[in-house]
């Protein structure tokens, strides 16, 4: 069974105490629309009347929206009432004005920076070089690290160090591994020369290494501290945390401040998440571990969001995470672009709005183009008119009965796009979750029952950190999940609306103090 969303009335929102009305232009700046040279575009801009709330609950009444005019003033028609539907907002997300902080602000810790660097690198495009020096020192560690084997590892360490920056990951892998070899060599040395103390054995092994690495003992001792840091990171967060750590990890391990900030606990917590993201986004990353004899096939294959991160055990395949609810396996296809139901629209794209100029952004009045060199619209620079990178989000199993949810793997500043709400562009679906688009006379639905993207898994909160936002790209209406300020690691939530909950026989589990639907089931809620 597929859960269904209810009607959303975009004119009413939660937590209303008192409100004051402001008129804003579509870009939400509150400035007058009459800017020289842009009159023709400005004339088309929609004005929206926004009721500002004391907290982040902002209720919106769309004004002269070209597509939604009738509906906003008269409320949903009988047709839309009978379906459980979600509407989007037409106003552009407000960006906070830049201002000097007047109170002390929290700055990210070294650990925050290291973790966000790892996530950034995992979601970036990475070019992998093939390691040209492969030995199998693992066997030596287990079988006793002989002088010759240790010399080989030292040579490999030296070679990797002198390679270019693109081989930095290789260098770090080898250096973390070198620490294991060094410890193993000390044990072997003591067996070879039982009369020596541990300290003497350490000294001797250090000298063996210095001779090959062309370092003084002092230099190697300093490096040993850093390399031990790499090993600690690898042991807590797994190899991906080191491979994708980037160049900042050197300073991090040199000054070791982050290790006192609960680094290892946080890395341990993220270990599965790193591995799922690394395996699905860069299936070849494990080949790098071949240099230390630890190459292995990816554990997680397929689309990054076909895996659900669980708190206490291994990540689970998405399709299996509905069984415990007595539901069938979820058969969901991840797609990058919405698919149009051709039978319904006969080759026409119902999202295309003839009254919107496809070349000029109706929000910022800049040129829109799919050619990134010509595009000047930067309303949602990660989504439209750009090279799209993978969405820095993951599916997680929630702990409070909501089943799956979506967690951010980077900060999304207020006003930034998190993703486009995509699915099957269709019409006439009733009793299931659908997003309503178009105008009263040209209605369409975005249905995510069988296909779509991660936005299908975003849960509701009565105090949400994101919202659905209407936007026009090249004259085509799009629904974008826009951040109201989302920090990396937090669950992404939206407000499904009163209509959704009023027709759903479920209790809201958002856990917010201002929850509007706690203990209220369909029929008992008077939205």
Interface residue list for ligand SAM (CB under 6 A): 3, 402-405, 433, 456-457, 459-461, 506, 508-510
User: Residue 186 in contact with residue 201, Cβ under 8 Å?
Assistant: yes
What is the smallest separation between the CB atom of 463 and ligand SAM, expressed in angstroms?
11
Q: From the CB of 71, what's the least distance to ligand SAM, in Å?
A: 23
Look at the block and give the residue holding tokens 């039982």: 194
List the structure tokens of 281: 């986004």
Which is nearer to ligand SAM, 92 or 421 (by Cβ)? 421
| Distance (Å, whole) CA 480 – CA 393 | 15
Long-range contacts of the stretch 260-269 (C-beta < 8 A, 24+): 261/109, 261/110, 261/111, 262/111, 263/111, 263/114, 263/232, 263/233, 263/236, 264/232, 264/236, 265/236, 266/111, 266/115, 267/115, 267/233, 267/236, 267/237, 267/241, 268/236, 268/237
CA distance readout (Å), 405 to 382, 456, 467, 475, 491: 22, 9, 15, 32, 7
Is the Cβ of residue 377 or residue 393 nearer to ligand SAM in the bound state? 393
Question: Which CB sits closer to ligand SAM, 243 or 508?
Answer: 508
Least distance from C-beta 515 to ligand SAM, angstroms? 8
Burial-class residue 508 by CB neighbours within 10 Å (0-12, 13-18, 19+): buried
Minimum distance, C-beta of residue 3 to ligand SAM, in the bound complex (Å) = 3
Nearer to ligand SAM (CB atom), residue 280 or residue 404: 404
CA-closest candidate to residue 494, choices 518, 453, 466, 454? 466
Q: Nearest 5 degrees, angle CA 294-CA 299-CA 303?
A: 135
Minimal distance, residue 316 CB to ligand SAM, in Å: 12
Output the smallest distance, CB 281 to ligand SAM, in A: 22
CA distances from 185 to 146, 204, 205, 229, 233 (A): 7, 10, 7, 19, 22
Least distance between ligand SAM and beta carbon 471 (Å):
21
As a whole number of angstroms, the distance between CA 351 and CA 498 comes to 25
Question: Which residue lies nearer to ligand SAM by CB, 456 or 474?
Answer: 456
Q: Which is nearer to ligand SAM, 433 or 477 (CB)?
A: 433
Q: Which CB atom, from 189 or from 307, has the smaller least distance to ligand SAM?
A: 307
CB of 236 to ligand SAM, least distance (A): 29
Give the nearer residue to ligand SAM in terms of CB position, either 65 or 433. Answer: 433
């Amino acid at each position: 069974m597929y859960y269904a969303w209810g009607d959303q009335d975009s004119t009413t929102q939660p937590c209303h105490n008192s409100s004051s009305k402001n008129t804003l232009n579509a870009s939400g700046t509150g400035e007058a629309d009459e800017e020289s040279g842009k009159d023709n575009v400005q004339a088309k801009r929609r004005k929206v009347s926004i009721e500002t709330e004391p907290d982040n609950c902002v209720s919106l009444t769309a004004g002269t929206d070209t597509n939604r005019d009738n509906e906003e003033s008269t409320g949903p028609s009988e047709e839309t009432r009978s379906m459980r539907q979600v509407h989007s907002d037409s106003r552009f997300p407000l960006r906070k004005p830049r201002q000097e902080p007047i109170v002390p602000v929290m700055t990210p810790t070294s650990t925050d920076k290291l973790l966000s660097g790892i996530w950034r690198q995992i979601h970036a495009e990475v070019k992998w070089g093939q390691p040209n020096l492969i030995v199998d020192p693992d066997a030596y560690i287990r079988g006793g690290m002989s002088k010759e084997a240790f010399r080989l590892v030292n040579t490999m360490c030296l070679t990797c160090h002198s390679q270019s920056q693109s081989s930095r990951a290789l260098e770090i892998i080898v250096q973390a591994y070198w620490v294991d070899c060094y410890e193993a060599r000390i044990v072997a040395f003591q067996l070879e020369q039982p009369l020596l103390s541990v300290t003497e054995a350490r000294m001797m092994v250090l000298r063996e290494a210095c001779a090959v690495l062309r370092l003084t003992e002092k230099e190697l001792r300093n490096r040993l501290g850093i390399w031990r840091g790499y090993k600690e990171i690898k042991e807590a967060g797994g190899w991906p945390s080191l491979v994708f750590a980037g160049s900042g990890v050197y300073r991090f391990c040199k000054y070791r401040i982050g290790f006192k900030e609960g680094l290892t606990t946080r890395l341990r917590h993220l270990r599965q998440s790193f591995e799922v993201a690394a395996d699905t986004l860069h299936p070849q990353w494990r080949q790098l571990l071949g240099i230390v004899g630890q190459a292995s096939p990816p554990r997680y294959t397929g689309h990054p969001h076909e895996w659900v991160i669980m708190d206490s055990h291994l990540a689970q395949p998405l399709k299996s995470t509905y069984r415990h609810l007595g539901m069938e396996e979820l058969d969901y296809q991840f797609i990058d672009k919405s698919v149009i139901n051709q039978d319904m629209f006969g080759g026409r794209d119902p999202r295309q709005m003839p009254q919107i100029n496809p070349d000029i952004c109706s929000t910022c009045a800049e040129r829109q183009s799919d050619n990134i060199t010509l595009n000047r619209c930067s309303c949602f620079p990660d989504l439209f008119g750009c090279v799209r990178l993978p969405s820095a989000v993951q599916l997680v199993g929630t702990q409070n009965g909501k089943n799956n949810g979506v967690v951010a793997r980077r900060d999304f500043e207020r006003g930034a796009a998190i993703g486009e709400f995509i699915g099957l562009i269709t019409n006439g679906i009733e009793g299931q979750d659908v997003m309503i688009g178009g105008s009263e006379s040209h209605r369409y639905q975005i249905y995510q029952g069988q296909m779509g993207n991660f936005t299908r898994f975003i849960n509701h909160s009565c105090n949400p950190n994101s919202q659905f936002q209407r936007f026009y790209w090249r004259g085509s209406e799009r629904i974008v999940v826009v951040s109201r300020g989302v920090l990396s690691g937090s669950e992404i939530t939206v407000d499904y609306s009163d209509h959704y909950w009023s027709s759903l026989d479920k209790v809201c589990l958002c856990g917010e103090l201002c929850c509007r639907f706690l203990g209220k089931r369909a029929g008992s809620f008077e939205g």
